[in-house]
Amino acid sequence: MFQGATSAVADNALSLAINAEYGRTQNQLHIHISCLRPDIRQQLDALMPLLNQQWRAEKLGTHTYLIRTLSAVELAQKSSFLRLAQEVPRASREMGKYGMALAQLPDGRLTLMVIASDWLTLNRGSAEELQDHQCRILKTR
């Protein structure tokens, strides 16, 4: 149960995030499971008609992410790490540079969001920035 939740949490309120190597707070690969920020949920909902299996660059919050959709079957068939390495140019040589997040769209598709760290813009590749650990999204529904 998430903080503030009095019943089951809707799938489209949740997200998974993995931070890039230098965006990690615990100096090891780990998965953050938390609520999606309400503003990010609104952005994804608005983008939904434009999203498909092709990667596209979109600004979410303050950083640009590469975003594509996946079905649950596609997610089960191939690791998101392999998908990133094989589908995004140069990613396979610098996997530690990338953070990624996964969230559900209102139509049931999943959206994979990838951020590349960029020290020149003070972007540590922390996909966890899309999450809200206070779960305000549960209070706005």
Structure tokens at 119: 């020290």
Confidence of residue 4 (pLDDT cuts 50, 70, 90): low
Amino acid at 62: T
Query: For 61-76, what is each residue's pLDDT tens digit?
Result: 899 999 999 999 999 9
Query: How long a stretch of residues is the chain?
Result: 141
48 located within any domain = yes
What total of structural domains would you count in the chain? Answer: 1
What totals of helices (H) and strands (E) does the chain contain, helices first? 3, 7
3 located within any domain = no
Query: For 96-111, what is each residue's pLDDT tens digit?
Result: 889 999 999 999 999 9
Q: For residue 88, which of 60, 66, 58, 117 has the smallest C-alpha distance?
A: 66
130 located within any domain = yes
5 located within any domain = no
137, burial (CB in 10 Å: exposed 0-12, middle 13-18, buried 19+): buried
Range of the domain at 83: 11-138
pLDDT of residue 25: 64
If one compares 140 and 102, the residue with the highest pLDDT of the two is 102
Residue 113: phi and psi, rounded to 5, are -120, 125
1 located within any domain = no
65 located within any domain = yes
pLDDT at 26 over 70: no
Least confident stretch, 28-37, 38-47, 68-77, 80-89: 28-37
33 located within any domain = yes
47 located within any domain = yes
Per DSSP, helices labelled H in the chain are 38-47, 72-77, 80-87
What's the pTM?
0.89
CATH code: domain of residue 109: 3.30.428.30
Residue pair 58/47 in contact (Cβ under 8 Å)? The answer is: yes
Collect all residues with Cβ–Cβ distance below 8 Å to 56 and sequence separation of at least 6. 50, 66, 67, 68
| Cα 75-48-37 angle, rounded to 5 deg | 80
pLDDT of residue 1: 45
